[in-house]
């Protein structure tokens, strides 16, 4: 029963936020244009607050876990390398190849892994997740550009790539948080309260937007790619990472964060990136939608099982 409650309490908030966004869209309260603008606001204004606050507010007695961060990043890089060798053998349409690879390794870590870890392990979980995500997200962004360029045949300037990475709002927030933490710069209590409140808005609002953008039409022609891609993204890869990570000496919270990075649905940003780089944007969008819906059940089952096995 305890495992059921842990899993239920960890997952149900995501479902509520997304469902509320979905019904507001269906009721005509929001529309695509509004949600696109709001999503830009969240990405540029609220996401940096999450990465800044969770690093800025690290307990001074808690050291930055470099070995843990390097391990999580290494697992992501190994997964990308394996996918680059395996997926092209089975997905021959090059515009779809890069999209499938991206869908399997690139998760919505900021929106899901961080709050999931916080729901189960509290502030310690949120800090560990922020440490991991602050390094993993740049790996996501850089590798996605390279992979989509390679398979779509669309070249882009290296200078533009460096600029896009350097000006990523998530990285800017993380860099500021680490700077304040290591230099021991403290803000007035009033500012701390305001930033903490803004940080609390980000995840519910992002999931509300995601729920409002869910679409379930036009998936028939891509069903084969979607079925196999989702099976690997939501079941096979998370299970493999969970098994391997369970053998490491890391703490339960650290092992859970690494697992959560791979168990989350496909990153929302994968759709506009694929669309703008000449890849199959429609397939990328379908991966985002379906993985988001499926994740409500797969995350629950994984967390429930982990609780029963004493892995939480």
Given a cut of 90, whether residue 32 has pLDDT beyond it is no
Q: For residue 1, what pLDDT is reported?
A: 47
Phi and psi torsions of 167, nearest 5°: -100, 10
- Kindly state the average pLDDT of the residues 173-196: 85
Alpha carbon 176 to its chain's center: 20
Range of the domain at 214: 2-308
* CATH number of the domain that residue 249 is part of: 1.20.1530.20
**For the whole model, what pTM was predicted?**
0.75
- Round the average pLDDT of the chain to a whole number and report it: 83
Q: For residue 227, what pLDDT is reported?
A: 92
pLDDT tens sequence across 203-246:
788 778 878 877 666 677 788 899 999 999 999 999 999 999 98
First and final CA of the chain: distance in angstroms? 14
Count of domains forming the chain? 1
**Three-class secondary structure assignment of 225-237:** HHHHHHHHHHHHH
Which of 117, 122, 133, 113 is CA-nearest to residue 55?
A: 133
Q: Do the beta carbons of residue 271 and residue 114 sit within 8 Å?
A: no
Farthest-apart Cα atoms in the chain, separation: 57
pLDDT tens sequence across 78-90:
999 999 999 999 9
- pLDDT category at 155 given cuts 50, 70, 90 is low
* Tokens describing residue 39: 């999503």
Q: Give the range among 23-27, 253-257, 265-269 with minimum mean pLDDT.
A: 265-269
């Amino acid at each position: 029963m305890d495992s059921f409650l842990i899993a239920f309490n960890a997952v149900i908030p995501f479902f509520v936020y997304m469902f509320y966004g979905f019904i507001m869209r269906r009721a005509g309260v929001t529309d695509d244009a509004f949600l696109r603008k709001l999503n830009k606001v969240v990405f540029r204004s609220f996401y940096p607050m999450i990465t800044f606050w969770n690093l800025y507010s690290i307990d001074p007695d808690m050291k930055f876990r470099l070995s843990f961060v390097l391990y999580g990043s290494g697992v992501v890089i190994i997964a990308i390398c394996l996918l680059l060798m395996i997926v092209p053998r089975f997905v021959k349409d090059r515009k779809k190849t890069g999209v499938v690879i991206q869908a399997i390794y690139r998760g919505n870590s900021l929106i899901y892994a961080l709050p999931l870890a916080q729901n189960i392990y509290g502030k310690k979980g949120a800090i560990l997740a922020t440490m991991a995500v602050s390094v993993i997200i740049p790996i996501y962004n850089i590798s996605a550009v390279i992979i989509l360029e390679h398979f779509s045949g669309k070249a882009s300037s290296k200078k533009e790539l460096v600029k896009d990475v350097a000006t990523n709002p998530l990285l800017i927030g993380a860099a500021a948080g680490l700077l304040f933490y290591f230099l021991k710069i403290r803000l007035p209590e009033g500012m701390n309260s305001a930033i903490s409140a803004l940080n609390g808005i980000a995840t519910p609002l992002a999931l509300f937007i995601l729920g409002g953008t869910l679409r379930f039409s036009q998936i028939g022609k891509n069903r084969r790619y979607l079925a196999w891609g989702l099976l690997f993204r939501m079941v096979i890869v998370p299970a493999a990472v969970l098994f391997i990570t369970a053998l490491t000496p890391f703490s339960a919270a650290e092992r859970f964060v690494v697992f959560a990075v791979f168990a989350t649905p496909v990153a929302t940003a994968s759709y506009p990136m694929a669309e703008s780089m000449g890849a199959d944007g429609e397939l990328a969008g379908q991966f985002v939608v379906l993985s988001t819906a499926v994740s409500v059940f797969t995350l629950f089952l994984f967390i429930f099982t982990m609780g029963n096995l004493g892995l939480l």
